[in-house]
Amino acid sequence: MRQKTSLIPTLRTVSEAEMISHQLLLRAGYMRQVAAGVYSFLPLGQRVLQKIIDVVRDELNRAGAQELLMPALNPAELWQESGRYNTYGPELVKLQDRHGRDFILGPTHEETITDLVRGEVNTYKKLPMTLYQIQTKFRDEKRPRSGLLRGREFLMKDAYSFHADRESLDQTYEELYQAYVNIFTRLGLNFRAVEADAGAIGGKGTHEFMVLSDAGEDTIATCEACDYAANIEMAEVIYKEQTHEQSSIPAPEKVDTPGKKSIEDVSSFLNLPSNQFIKSLFFIVDEEPVLVLVRGDHEVNEVKVKNLLDASVCELADEETVRRIAGVETGFVGPVGLKEKVKIIADQAVQSIADGVMGANLVDTHLVHVQPKRDFTVDQYADIRQIQEGDACPRCGGMIQFERGIEVGHVFKLGTKYSEAMNANFLDANGKEQPFIMGCYGIGISRLVAAIIEQHHDENGMIWPINVAPFAVHLIAVNMKKDEQATIAEGLYEKLTKAGIEVLFDDRFERAGVKFKDADLMGIPVRITVGAKASEGMVEIKLRRTGESAELAHEDVLKDLP
Ligand code: ATP
Ligand code: MG
Ligand code: MG
Ligand code: MG
């Protein structure tokens, strides 16, 4: 591709982007923002996306999955059948057609695929079957500020598997897990697979693939002593509180230490404008930490009681997170009678705060309990997992370490969650009707573009791993007005291109400094510079990553390409 006529609008600076990947994608001319969380991929960005897709597709096909393509626009009825039309939350993009019929733009496609398969597959003889697509998803994310890491429209690979029995699901899960390991390895990523929280998709048995990076929103807990690794929502939430970045909770007001507060003070403290919002608090009640979710009207929705670290009172994040931690989808779920007990506890807590008894804790929470805890023991940590999953974690007694990570992939054993809700059945070997046992497997294709950059850059720009680089070679003619340079460069461009090597040819009439700066920014792995020494027939080859360079006769170029 010739740069002179290419759409690669590089910028020296950008103001709006916080994340390195976001800055570099804009500066290097890989993408442009259309609206918050909505981007156009320019030619370089599109090429990287396609490289990632090639790798993903190759590994998925090898694992026996079949590619199809489902629509983004889906009838609300499907989501009503599964129940998620009402429980998915404000990320779900809802719209109506001209006849007033309700639709959604798919944030994920369990419903659509379950509907398809229940119509087309009805016998165990067809199973197992894994179907996947690479398709645009829509999620009206609260704060889409991190560029491709969190888009409102983004590209995902989503796969769904259908099985006659659990063993078959376990096997496919293993195979796709391995495919994910292959994919992220081929993409040049330093990643870790961790135990995950089932979230709104539901089901047990789930792993996330985390790209290790300080830019990540997730916190991964790993045990020093055993191979335990998990995504820890708690630390994530506390971290968010600390940075005040992602939390829906406004930055804490500084309330003066203890002293009496009027019930109105406390009410206004607990009350938040949105009626969707549930305020969550940890209280110590009878020496037991209690998680209480309080609606704006103080109606208490749910609670989990457990020895939750040594937290006295601590604020959590938004409703979704809390629901995920509590392991419920909506409303109050818990033993009969607990709701009533919780209401009393919460009422007492509100009263105690008003009386100043718990005020100090509440204030302390805001001012003090914002330090991420870095030294949980596995035992303490297991309590968090218990709250998340309803059962205990490994307890080897080791210390837990934390790292930040970007979730780039997620595999779930769904079981019969969707097939039962949507009445999707097959006939088993005995002619008996059974609900499909399902798994689902996502990869954030567009997020990966950013995640790779987060791990592969330096102060001058991107440094693409060869498998995903938009071009393998950046050929730069320093001065196109010099005949010998133009001739050698044109010759190399033709030769390399004919050899099947993807070359970006900087044939612009720009100053050398501009060309080199742009090249560093774009991060193409191998640079061939045709400069002053072209008069002696010499060119320079340089590796973007290491800066290593060598001079050689232009005729020898192909021999020396890595
Ligand atoms: P997150 O925790 O980051 O919000 P998620 O758990 O909601 O992600 P999944 O439902 O597991 O996401 O979707 C599968 C994959 O899609 C994720 O692992 C992630 O790589 C990608 N993904 C999810 N949300 C976004 C987004 N808003 N922008 C880009 N990629 C996304
Ligand atoms: Mg999400
Ligand atoms: Mg997640
Ligand atoms: Mg996920």
Nearest protein Cα to ligand 1, atom 13:
442
Q: pLDDT tens-digit profile of 478-497?
A: 999 999 999 999 999 999 99
Nearest protein Cα to ligand 1, atom 5:
407
The most distant pair of C-alpha atoms in the chain lies apart, rounded to whole Å, by: 89
- In one-letter notation, the amino acid at residue 362 is L
Instruction: Out of 145, 187, 447, give the residue to mutate to test ligand 1, the one with the largest number of ligand atoms within 8 Å of its CB.
Output: 447
The answer to whether 492 touches 539, Cβ cutoff 8 Å, is: yes
Q: Which ligand is nearest to the CA of 149?
A: 1
Q: Which residues of 55-89 are buried (b: 16+ CB within 10 A; e: fewer)?
A: bbbebbeebebeeeebebebbbebbebbbbbebbb
Q: What is the pLDDT of residue 230?
A: 73
Q: What is the pLDDT of residue 294?
A: 38
- Residue 355 phi/psi, 5-degree rounding, is -80, -5
Instruction: Out of 21, 132, 156, 414, give the residue to mutate to test ligand 1, the one with the largest number of ligand atoms within 8 Å of its CB.
Output: 156
Q: What is the pLDDT of residue 314?
A: 30
Give pairs for 260-266: CB < 8 Å, separation 24+: 260/354, 260/355, 260/356, 260/359, 261/353, 261/354, 261/355, 261/356, 261/359, 262/354, 263/350, 263/351, 263/354, 265/354, 266/350, 266/353, 266/354
Cα gap 156→439, rounded to integer Å = 16
Token output for 215: 């830019």
Q: What is the pLDDT of residue 43?
A: 98
Nearest protein Cα to ligand 1, atom 16:
444
Question: Token match 């309700």: residue?
Answer: 102
Q: pLDDT tens-digit profile of 153-177?
A: 999 999 999 999 999 999 999 999 9
Distance 127 CA to ligand 1 centre (A): 28
The answer to whether 278 touches 301, Cβ cutoff 8 Å, is: yes
Instruction: Out of 149, 410, 448, give the residue to mutate to test ligand 1, the one with the largest number of ligand atoms within 8 Å of its CB.
Output: 410
Nearest protein Cα to ligand 1, atom 14:
442
Q: What is the pLDDT of residue 360?
A: 27
Q: Which ligand is nearest to the CA of 201?
A: 1
The answer to whether 307 touches 383, Cβ cutoff 8 Å, is: yes
Q: What is the pLDDT of residue 518?
A: 98
- The CA-CA-CA angle for residues 190, 455, 462, to 5°, reads 140
| Three-class DSSP labels, 120-158 | HCCEHHHCCEEEEEEEEEECCCCCCCCHHHHCCEEEEEE
Residues of the chain scoring pLDDT < 70: 197-204, 232-392, 394-400, 560-562
Ligand 1: which residues within 6 Å by Cβ? 108, 139, 141, 150-151, 154, 156, 199, 407-410, 442, 444, 446-447
Global pTM reads 0.76
Q: What is the pLDDT of residue 400?
A: 64
Q: What is the pLDDT of residue 358?
A: 38
Q: What is the pLDDT of residue 482?
A: 96
Nearest protein Cα to ligand 1, atom 11:
410
Q: What is the pLDDT of residue 390?
A: 37
**Strand 433-435 to strand 425-427: parallel, antiparallel, or no bridges (unpaired)?**
antiparallel
Q: What is the pLDDT of residue 394?
A: 46
Render 466-506 in DSSP notation, one character per residue.
Answer: TTT-S-SEEEEES-TTSHHHHHHHHHHHHHHHHTT--EEEE
The answer to whether 236 touches 478, Cβ cutoff 8 Å, is: no
Closest CA relative to residue 91, chosen from 105, 75, 110: 105
